[in-house]
Structure 1
Amino acid sequence: MKLDMKLKVVLLSFLALWLSTAHSQPKELDKVAVIVDQGVILESEIQSRLQQVKQEALASGQDLPSERALRTQVTERLIMENLQMQMADRMGMQISDPQLDQTIANIAAEQGMTLAQLRGQVAKDGLSYDEYREQVRRQLIMGEVRRANVRRRVYITPQEVQNLVELMKEQGQQQAEYRLGHILIGFPPEPSDEDIESARDRAAKVLDLLSQGSDFAKIAIASSSGSKALEGGDMGWLNINAMPTLFAEAVQGKDKGELIGPIRSGAGFHILKIQDTRGLETVEVEEVKARHILMKPSVILSEEKIRTMMKDFREQLIAGEADFAELAKEHSEDPGSALKGGELGWADPENYVPEFRQALARLEKDQYSQPVRSTHGWHLIQLQDRRISDATEERRQNKAYQLLFKRRFAEEADSWMREMRDQAYIEVVE
């Protein structure tokens, strides 16, 4: 494997030399910076990402660490992305242009922008719209790869769900949420005593700097091995039942601004800072009753053909010339609802994928949507009704399961990423 990788570098270097001699005016060419299994990271990719991080930091007023520390973090992030994209290629995972366009339209809507305004903002940030599209496509693909590989590692027993339901009942509706800052001082998968002591010393020094008032985000970017290092260690708002168990036990009873740690785990030593806290307010939940027809593109049915068919179905339904249930039984490819005439029953809209949820939000009772593209395929949706529901026992069960799944998924995703990184051939090219 190592010989193959070095051969790739030699060939790429030879190509660069040939190109340089093919022109009368010598100019600086791109070069391979890191070999990652069967792929490479180019110096231009690292420089582009560095520039992007610097622009974002400047816009948010965030101080950055040294160029060397920043480059290390950026390179590590690109290595992990490269490994995931290679796995996506092996899995044959792709995001079609219509699906990508729909996602970008949703991003613009969520930010209160038109598509033209989003294009303007992208240009203002120094990116071409094509570059932005490919970045979004890349993020979607990596998300699908993570879900496909991590979901099967997550197992939750009914007893775990019931135990959490009981705990939630005891806590009542005012469940604490924490906004956590996280720094991980990591050590190798099978650390020696020296590795552990070295990591412990570094963690103690980091904690000492933080205790003296050093900027948490800057130190996280420079020192953390955690997945949120480039975000300054910001883990966002987490319900106490959704965060890793190790963190949940550590933060209980702690106040805003407190530093916690170092806490040892299998990955290294963790340092936490409680950036903020808040309680959950009691809210009534709006549930929707809907039905849909799902069709997936294939060799026979193109994206455009499906869209045209669904528009025809919609016109027939509005004119009273077709029955939704019969159309769903004949054409829908959703095994869970097709035989039931497309019926999805009552559900919290948050349970649906973003495109489906947003389409429902725009519908009035009994209205039909335009064809909607999601990761599952094309949907024709009818909103049958809305209702305001209290938190029933079933909803508590669902919420408990989702909290456990989110916690377990995050833990398993980190483990999966570390395993993939440890098994990969990585060589930084000097």
Structure 2
Amino acid sequence: MTRTDRDGPHTPTRTAFGALFWLVVGLLCLGLTHPLANAEELDSIVAIVNDDVVVQSEVSREMAQTIPQLQEQGTPVPPPEQLRKQVLERLILKRLQQQRAKQLGITVDEAALTSAIRSIASRNNLSIEELQATLESSGMRFEAFREDTRMQILTGRLQNQEVVGTIQVSDQEVERFLQREKGQLMPREQVRLQHILIALPDDPSPAQIAQAEAKAKQLVAKLRGGADFAAVAAASSEGRTALQGGDLGWFEMAAVPSLVADKAQTMAQGEITDPIRSPSGFNIIRLAEIKGGVPGNVTQTRARHILIRPNELVADEDAKTRLAQLRMRIVGGDDFATLARAHSDDTGSALKGGDLGWVNPGQTVPEFEAAMNKLAPNEVSEPVHSSFGWHIIQVQERRSQDTADELLRLKAKEAIQRRKVDEATDAWLKRLRDEAYVELRLDAANAER
């Protein structure tokens, strides 16, 4: 139940680690990293969520992270009160997920958290100590960063258990997807792009931004209705290639303009983007052609594993220790398959003695694949940590295989699963929100500011 009306749910999924820089910048801009910030003002209660609360300092900190991210993306920042409400809704969903995880006994112990932070530091070519010094020199408490990281791991585990594990994809769905969208799955070497720009002046007014955006949306509707892109570009674009029909030419995938780099990986041939805001104005991109090929021979690995998932009864370090002991038994002569049936938490493969069958590149999570690729046939790995828990892996054999059709089907299944997971996660979060007791006190908090 709830005491106030609200907009639809806002899924709190974002890459917190990649947003580290913007979080620090935002905190400095708002002065929230200063130790003498007005604690009484910042810690007023803005929402009651079941038996917990959200306080003003959390809202301010989340806004400090969100504002520079929006600016970097070229997305107009909503008015302060609208942004505050959206941020508060995201924090409410975060709190509800924490409560749900507690009900299910899902936790993140210190060993798993330290492992994740070490991985973040490594990706930035830093030690944990250097990462801590960098954060704190910028005014951000390392403990706050640790807790943000813990929350990311917690919600990942929760959503894997509550949502991802329930998703099934049938062979019929894969066939229908391949009939409609097979071209999107082909590996891309080059793309040819067309471009329309609706320009904005330096330091545009809100009215100028709204007018340009409205014009761009009208052009998108016209193009999707069948109008010739080149003709519309020549007549309406303010970009440098307007008189060439907006043709930007061919790009290697690594050289695609950052404005559309992600979209160019998955857009269908002939697809037209919604207007994309940039410092120069609103951009409309059409993917005119794709160059690429059907995947050829790949190296497949036949592997088996034993998985132990940390939970309320098994700490992260205990799971690792148990697997180290099982590895010693296997190296000493015990049968891998027998131990997998008795001990593995991966019920699907445990029944087959841990056998995963022939594994293609990209089919497993990166940590698992990296460890598997280092093993010689019949070698058993040390315990390996992934988002699913701790594994020991044994490679049985490898082969080179022409897997064009198999890889396409696998990519189709993964694409369908991603879409289903997104939809199911939205529905799950909405259900959490609808079943919760939430009392908003945002207006009272604003009155104190």
Give the TM interval when normalised to the shorter protein: 0.5 to 0.7
Contact 1:178–1:237, Cα closer than 8 Å, also in 2: no
The Cα shift of 1:330 comes to 4.5
Whole-angstrom distance in 2 between the partners of 1:113 and 1:365: 34
Summarize the alignment of residues 48-63 of structure 1 with structure 2, pairs less than 5 Å apart. 48-54=61-67
Unaligned runs of 5+ in 2: 4-37, 194-208, 220-235, 238-258, 277-281, 445-449
RMSD of aligned residue pairs (Cα, Å): 4.5
Residues 1:207 and 2:214 are matched in the alignment: yes
Larger RCO, structures 1/2 (Cα 8 Å, 6+ apart):
2
Summarize the alignment of residues 317-332 of structure 1 with structure 2, pairs less than 5 Å apart. 317-318=330-331, 320-332=332-344
Q: Which residue of 2 aligns with 1:188?
A: none
The Cα shift of 1:395 comes to 3.2
Q: Percent identity?
A: 30
1:164 to 177, 187, 191: 177
Counterpart secondary structure, 2:106: coil
Q: Which residue of 1 aligns with 2:347?
A: 335
The Cα shift of 1:43 comes to 0.5
Contact 2:216–2:284, Cα closer than 8 Å, also in 1: no
Counterpart secondary structure, 1:417: helix
Whole-angstrom distance in 2 between the partners of 1:336 and 1:153: 14
Q: Which residue of 1 aligns with 2:413?
A: 401
Contact 1:57–1:63, Cα closer than 8 Å, also in 2: yes
Whole-angstrom distance in 2 between the partners of 1:53 and 1:67: 12
Whole-angstrom distance in 1 between the partners of 2:165 and 2:210: 33
Q: Which residue of 1 aligns with 2:270?
A: 253
Q: Which residue of 2 aligns with 1:43?
A: 56
Residues 1:413 and 2:425 are matched in the alignment: yes
Contact 1:325–1:341, Cα closer than 8 Å, also in 2: yes
The Cα shift of 1:380 comes to 1.5
Residues 1:368 and 2:372 are matched in the alignment: no
Contact 1:98–1:373, Cα closer than 8 Å, also in 2: no
Counterpart secondary structure, 1:345: strand
Q: Which residue of 1 aligns with 2:154?
A: 141
For residues 232-289 of structure 1, the C-alpha deviation after alignment (integer angstroms, 9 at most, x for no partner) is x99954765xxxxxxx8xx76245x7639xxxxxxxxxx9965989766655544322
**1:154 and 1:35, CA in 2 relative to 1: closer, same or farther beyond 3 A?**
same
Q: Which residue of 2 aligns with 1:287?
A: 300
The Cα shift of 1:326 comes to 4.2
Summarize the alignment of residues 135-284 of structure 1 with structure 2, pairs less than 5 Å apart. 135-151=148-164, 154=167, 156-167=169-180, 173=186, 207-208=214-215, 236-237=262-263, 240=266, 253-255=270-272, 259=275, 274=285, 282-283=294-295, 284=297
Whole-angstrom distance in 2 between the partners of 1:86 and 1:234: 38
Specify the code of the residue in structure 2 equivalent to 1:414: D
Counterpart secondary structure, 2:393: strand
Whole-angstrom distance in 2 between the partners of 1:111 and 1:178: 33
Question: Number of paired residues?
Answer: 346
**TM-score of the pair, normalised by structure 1:** 0.63
Unaligned runs of 5+ in 1: 4-25, 180-201, 214-232, 241-247, 261-270
The Cα shift of 1:81 comes to 1.8
The Cα shift of 1:343 comes to 2.3
Contact 1:290–1:382, Cα closer than 8 Å, also in 2: yes
Q: Which residue of 1 aligns with 2:356?
A: 344
Specify the code of the residue in structure 2 equivalent to 1:398: L
